[in-house]
Amino acid sequence: MNGVVTSNSIMLEEIKQKMETENVQFLLASFSDINGSSRAKLVPSKRLSTVLESGAGFAGFAVGDLGHGPTDPDILCIPDLRSMTILPWQKDLAWFAGTLTEDGTPWSYCTRTILLNVMEKAKKLGYEMKTGVEPEFSLLKEDEQGNYSPADPFDVANKPCYNQVALMRNYDFLSTLIHYMEELKWDVSQADHEDANGQFEVNFQFADVLTSADRLMFFKYMVKSMAEDRNLVATFMPKPFSHLTGNGCHMHLSLWNGSQNLFENTADPKGNDLSEVGYHFIGGILKHAKALTAIVCPTVNSYKRLTAMSTSSGATWAPNLISYGGNNRTQLIRCPGAGRIEFRAMDNHANPYLASAAILAAGLDGMKNKVDPDLLITENSELESVLGNEIGKLPSTLQEAITELEQNEVLIESLGQDFMNTYIKRKKEEWAEYLEKISSWEIEKYLKE
Ligand code: ADP
Ligand code: MG
Ligand code: MG
Ligand code: MG
Ligand code: MG
């Protein structure tokens, strides 16, 4: 099954040994639900072999959003030993990312399995994707009325990005987080105060796409746990405050064959240090950008970040046009350095497995069809003048994005028809639920009209 069972049997003795020497008493068999939220069972370490064989059981219906009714059999989470992560703040406990099976076969609703499937397809063509992610988060406090504001009361500047004093007021939190990440050998490069009050980012080294997706799941868990320990709330919500810059999760990516970065070409006449393969991959992302948005920006709130006008800092930094090129932070795809591209639409509500799978599938399609991104953009801008200003824009609501996804055969086929049907259905329900609600904006604007 996608290499998980094989690598588990190879690694079992080594992991057992490690658990014993490190005195690990429990394991967390964890998986991501459709929404990118971690679900887990706590299992005593002595049950490791059993849980690898029989899995930890979950009632799919209780997890929600998973295409299961209450009468369906359990889904079983099999920990992937490659993902073992001893909690730096709770060393008797090891976290494992798991894949889900049903009746002994990989479950089509398991997003980690969906990624493994697309990775396998890429591997057969000689490609391995590597990604580096930049999950931004806000550190908040909740007052007695249930309102949230930046935890640091002095963090009120209009342009707080890289503010040294504001950064250092949060030294305890950030340095502890960096120590933990270093202990996990994630190779941290830097941390900074970002563009919104209370907003931070910690950068760590890129890795193969599966490892990065697992790390992103663990990172969110770690940051939220640390915040709770300090009576704070860490949010990864794309747009928690309308006047402040939102939380994104840019993804840097490259494609490899062994030790060769297939995206790299320092003799690129266009000056992006990219190969033809790299341009075709970009072409695929641009071609599928609208439908892709429904997966990388998957909630109602995601579009409050994507479509934001200017914030109090003077910019939003989120893309809204289907564009690429240069070391330019307003593009959908930025080319920040040799042999890699940065996809800037994604946010932290995206399920990292699903988002990575969809981006890879779009890129592979671009390569297969040798999609020229420049031609695509020229055609789009010509069409724009005929059709109005729509073709080259990212969807501005979840509803628009879902309509695009519904019509995108490449993504539906790559991620699995059954799963996608359920995904689209759930997202339509989410949109309908949102439409029914009366917002505080409506009350303010219309109540006394
Ligand atoms: P930004 O300039 O967008 O703020 P950061 O420096 O915060 O970028 O993050 C850059 C990310 O890109 C890091 O995670 C880094 O490891 C990753 N990265 C660097 N080279 C590659 C590559 N070849 N493939 C994928 N990711 C890469
Ligand atoms: Mg029970
Ligand atoms: Mg960054
Ligand atoms: Mg950032
Ligand atoms: Mg970035």
Q: Given ligand 1 and candidates 203, 219, 245, 255, which is best to mutate, with the most ligand atoms within 8 Å of its CB?
A: 203
Structural contact between residues 250 and 343, judged by C-beta atoms closer than 8 angstroms: yes
Residue 359: name the closest of 342, 382, 384 by CA: 342
In this prediction, residues 283-306 reach a mean pLDDT of 96
In this prediction, residues 143-167 reach a mean pLDDT of 94
Cα separation, 343 vs 249, in Å, equals 9
In this prediction, residues 157-180 reach a mean pLDDT of 95
| pLDDT on residue 73 | 82
In ligand 1, the atom with minimum distance to the C-alpha of 253 is 25
- Residues 329-346 have pLDDT tens digits of 888 999 999 999 999 999
Q: Which ligand is nearest to the CA of 337?
A: 1
Cα separation, 444 vs 437, in Å, equals 14
Q: Which ligand is nearest to the CA of 57?
A: 2
Q: Given ligand 1 and candidates 252, 343, 356, which is best to mutate, with the most ligand atoms within 8 Å of its CB?
A: 252
Q: What tokens does 250 get?
A: 């840019």
Within 13 Å and on the Cβ side, how many CA atoms surround 166?
24
In this model, does residue 89 exceed pLDDT 60? yes
| pLDDT on residue 209 | 98
> Which residues have a Cβ under 8 Å from the Cβ of 194 and sit 6 or more positions away?
136, 160, 161, 200, 201, 245
In ligand 1, the atom with minimum distance to the C-alpha of 201 is 7
Q: What is the pTM of this model?
A: 0.95
Consecutive H or E run containing 57: strand 56-58
CA of 127 to the centre of ligand 1 (A): 19
Ligand 1 neighbours, Cβ below 6 Å, are: 130-132, 134, 203-206, 250, 252-254, 336, 339-340, 342
Cα separation, 427 vs 431, in Å, equals 6
Burial status of residue 137 (CB atoms within 10 A of its CB: 0-12, 13-18, 19 or more): buried
Structural contact between residues 395 and 319, judged by C-beta atoms closer than 8 angstroms: no
In this model, does residue 21 exceed pLDDT 60? yes
CA of 369 to the centre of ligand 5 (A): 28
Q: Whose Cα sits closest to atom 17 in ligand 1? A: 132
User: How far lies 147's CA from each of 227, 233, 237, 240, in Å?
Assistant: 17, 11, 15, 11
| Segment among 37-41, 257-261, 298-302, 308-312 with least mean pLDDT | 308-312
Q: Whose Cα sits closest to atom 14 in ligand 1? A: 132
- Residues 218-264 have pLDDT tens digits of 999 999 999 999 999 999 999 999 999 999 999 999 999 999 999 99
Pairing of strands 26-32, 93-102: parallel
Residue 396: name the closest of 309, 282, 328 by CA: 309
In ligand 1, the atom with minimum distance to the C-alpha of 252 is 26
Question: Residue 58 — very low, low, confident or very high, per pLDDT cuts 50/70/90?
Answer: confident
- Residues 382-433 have pLDDT tens digits of 555 554 444 588 999 999 999 999 999 999 999 999 999 999 999 999 999 9
ipTM of the complex: 0.97
Cα separation, 195 vs 300, in Å, equals 22
Q: Given ligand 1 and candidates 137, 162, 188, 206, which is best to mutate, with the most ligand atoms within 8 Å of its CB?
A: 206
In this prediction, residues 117-140 reach a mean pLDDT of 98
Which amino acid is it at 174?
L
